[in-house]
Amino acid sequence: REDLMFTYKGIPYPTTLCSYEVFKAMESFEARSDDMILAGFPKSGTNWFGHILLELITTFEKKTEVEPTIYGEEFDEFPYLEVGDTEKYQRMKKIPFRRVIRTHLMSQNLPKSVFTNKAKILLLLRNPKDLATSFFKFSKVMAPFPTYDSWDEFFKDFMTGNIPWGSYFTYLSEWNKHADDEHVMPITFEEVKENPLLGVKKIAKFFELPLTEEELKGVAERSSFQAMKNNSKETHGVFGNVLFRKGGVSDWKSLFSEEQNQEMDKIFEECLAQTKLGAKIKYNVWCK
Ligand code: A3P
């Protein structure tokens, strides 16, 4: 399992997706104030929110008849900042404006220009129990991630942060330092699941993509779990079934023992309960 990960600045990453070379090359990345950054720990709904953004931008650009800015030939889909080849930063430079960039990185490991140049960051949050559940199920079938024979084994590594991209609790504590930044908007998986139209409206407003009620409704419908799952063979090939697994809330109850449940409650209480992001993850509602 150790062979599948390497450590960079104290955080483990999967060797199949990231490398020292990419992190070095990332230093040449210069963020812009019109960049749209989608930040979220793996399994927090990155593909879902990426799709919402894609729908919002294409709808907006179609109606305003501006030159489409969506990556086109340069990339198949929105690039992850720290995943892929070392040449990507050069290709990203060619995108004239409104670049959408995804990242699983903790805030302190992002290029500094993201904060100094005030790129807009949509910070995706998900209740840690469902995120751990989703991560475990994903690890079982996805070759790039270390796999686990049992949930108990995975749970231990999740709690100590010995998984790709490290500890979710550290992730949340670090990002909490930016919870009040005006160019950062935290949003939860659960609030958008509960009210997709309201979620889509918040995102459109944050990124200054003015659309009509009808258009926003269309975006919400085309981004529903079912719509995305139905489309997943086309968009993600054989990975479709893995990426669009259940898309719900509270699946953690099928895996956690009472002891594990208490252990996670305890760590949350200790490091996140008093924080702004902790409050956003309405722990008592979604995790108990
Ligand atoms: P589950 O494994 O709990 O089903 P990521 O894209 O960051 O890897 O996150 C994957 C999680 O987001 C999966 O969770 C997946 O089902 C869920 N998901 C993907 N698209 C979704 C959608 N349109 N609505 C709700 N959940 C979605």
Q: Is 251 in the pocket of ligand 1 (CB under 6 A)?
A: yes
Q: Residues 6 or more apart from 279 whose CB is under 8 A from it?
A: none
Q: How far apart are CA 256 and CA 259, in angstroms?
A: 8
In this prediction, residue 235 carries a pLDDT of: 83
How long a stretch of residues is the chain?
288
Pairing mode, if any, of strands 100-103 and 184-188?
unpaired
Handedness of CA 79, 82, 86, 89 (dihedral sign): positive
Q: How far apart are CA 53 and CA 46, in angstroms?
A: 11
What is the C-alpha separation between 131 and 136, in angstroms, rounded? 9
Q: Does ligand 1 lie within 6 Å of residue 80's CB atom? A: no
78-82: long-range pairs with CB below 8 Å, 24+ = 78/38, 78/50, 78/53, 78/54, 78/102, 80/17, 80/104, 81/26, 81/29, 81/105, 81/110, 81/111, 82/13, 82/18, 82/22, 82/23, 82/26
Ligand 1 atom index nearest CA of 134: 2
Q: Give residue 242's pLDDT.
A: 82
Q: In what order do the strands lie in the sheet with 100-103?
A: 100-103, 36-40, 120-125, 184-188
Locate the ligand 1 atom nearest the alpha carbon of residue 50 and give its number.
Answer: 6
Residue nearest to atom 14 of ligand 1 (CA): 247
Q: Tell me how crowded residue 249 is: count the other CB atoms within 10 A of its CB.
A: 17
For atom 22 of ligand 1, which residue has the closest CA? 225
Nearest ligand 1 atom to the CA of 42 is: 7
Among the listed residues 159, 205, 162, 185, the one whose alpha carbon sits nearest the alpha carbon of residue 40: 185
Ligand 1 atom nearest residue 48's Cα: 20
Measured in angstroms, how far is the CA atom of residue 47 from the centroid of ligand 1?
7
Query: Is there a contact between 68 and 58 (Cβ–Cβ < 8 Å)?
Result: yes
Residues with catalytic function: 104
Q: Using an 8 Å Cβ cutoff, are 263 and 251 in contact?
A: no
- Digit-by-digit pLDDT tens for the chain (288 residues) are 668 899 999 999 999 899 999 999 999 999 999 999 999 999 999 999 999 999 999 999 888 877 766 666 666 678 999 998 999 999 899 888 889 999 999 999 999 999 999 999 999 999 999 999 999 999 988 777 888 989 999 999 999 999 999 999 999 999 999 999 999 999 999 999 999 999 999 999 999 999 999 999 999 999 999 999 999 988 888 788 888 999 999 999 999 999 999 999 999 999 999 999 999 998 888 888
158: phi > 0 → left, psi -120 to 50 → alpha, else beta; which?
A: alpha
Burial 155-185 (b: 16+ CB within 10 A, else e): bebbbebbbbbbbbbbbbbbbbebbeeebbb
Helix %, strand %, coil % of the chain (to 5): 55, 10, 35
pTM above 0.90, yes or no: yes
Hey, whose CA ends up nearest to atom 25 of ligand 1? 247
Dist. CA 193 → ligand 1 center (Å): 10
**Residue nearest (by alpha carbon) to ligand 1 atom 8:** 43
User: Does 127 sit in the ligand 1 pocket, CB within 6 Å?
Assistant: no
Q: Please choose, from the candidates 195, 46, 189, 59, the residue with its C-alpha nearest in 3D space to the C-alpha of residue 128.
A: 189
Amino acid residing at 171 = Y
Give the relative orientation of helices 128-141 and 258-271 as an angle to the nearest 10 degrees.
120
pLDDT at 71: 64
CA separation for the pair 128, 105 (Å, rounded): 16
How far does residue 204's CA lie from ligand 1's centre (Å)?
A: 20
| CA proximity to 271, closest of 163, 173, 125 | 173
